[in-house]
C-alpha cells in the first residue's frame, strides 16, 4: 500500500518523533501548536498506515553480539520462496532481501562470536534444502548505521510512479 496523504503537520510530527521517539503527545502538540488529541490521532494514523513505527533500537555489541555479516545466497530454481521463508524465520537473520544478479538473497546475520557464526553457516544455512552456495562478507567494523532516515518535503509531495 502506498500512502500519500502526509501533510506538513504530519511531517513536523514525524521529525519530532525522529529526534526523540519518547516525546509525549503533549510536548509535540505544544511544539506544533495543535491540540494533544489531534497529535495523538495523527500519530495513530501514521502508525496504522505503516508510515512510522516507534521502537527501541538495541546496540548489539553491548549485549555481546560481535559477529555481524552479510551473506549472498544462491538457491536451486523453484526453491526461492521455501528457502526465503526458512531464512526469514531464523532469529539470527536481521535482514533478508530477494535480489537480482549473482545471488537470490542477501541476508544480514548477527551472532555472538566467530564460533557461533561458523556453527550457524555450517549447521544451519548449508543444511537448508535448496541452498546451492553462499558468499560471506564479514563486517569487521561499522562506520555508519542510519536509523534516522528522513524524507524531504519534496519527496513526500511526489506521487507514486513519478
Please state, in angstroms and rounded to a whole number, the distance separating the CA atoms of residues 33 and 39.
Answer: 10
Q: What pLDDT shows up at residue 101?
A: 96
Residue 137: which residues within 8 A CB-CB, separation 6 or more?
69, 70, 71, 72
Instruction: Assign domain 60-138 one CATH number from 1.20.1050.90, 3.40.1010.10, 3.40.50.2300, 3.30.70.920.
Output: 3.30.70.920
Separation between Cα atoms, residue 148 and residue 122, nearest integer Å: 35
- Domain 8-56 sits in CATH at 1.10.10.10
* Tens of each residue's pLDDT in the chain, 162 residues: 455 678 999 999 998 998 898 999 999 999 999 999 999 999 999 999 988 988 887 888 888 888 899 999 999 999 999 999 999 999 999 999 999 999 999 999 999 999 999 999 999 999 999 999 999 999 998 888 776 666 665 555 555 555
Amino acid at each position: 500500500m502506498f500512502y500519500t496523504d502526509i501533510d506538513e503537520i504530519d511531517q513536523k510530527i514525524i521529525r519530532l518523533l525522529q529526534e526523540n521517539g519518547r516525546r509525549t503527545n503533549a510536548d509535540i502538540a505544544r511544539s506544533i501548536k495543535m491540540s494533544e488529541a489531534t497529535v495523538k490521532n495523527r500519530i495513530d494514523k501514521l502508525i496504522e498506515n505503516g508510515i512510522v513505527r516507534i521502537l527501541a533500537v538495541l546496540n548489539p555489541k553491548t549485549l555481546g553480539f560481535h559477529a555481524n555479516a552479510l551473506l549472498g545466497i544462491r538457491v536451486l530454481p523453484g526453491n526461492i520462496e521455501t528457502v526465503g521463508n526458512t531464512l526469514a524465520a531464523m532469529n539470527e537473520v536481521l535482514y533478508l532481501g530477494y535480489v537480482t544478479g549473482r545471488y537470490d538473497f542477501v541476508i544480514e546475520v548477527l551472532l555472538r562470536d566467530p564460533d557461533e557464526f561458523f556453527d550457524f553457516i555450517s549447521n544451519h544455512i548449508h543444511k537448508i534444502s535448496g541452498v546451492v552456495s553462499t558468499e560471506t562478507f564479514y563486517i569487521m567494523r561499522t562506520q555508519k548505521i542510519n536509523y534516522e532516515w528522513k524524507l524531504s518535503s519534496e519527496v513526500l509531495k511526489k506521487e507514486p510512479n513519478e
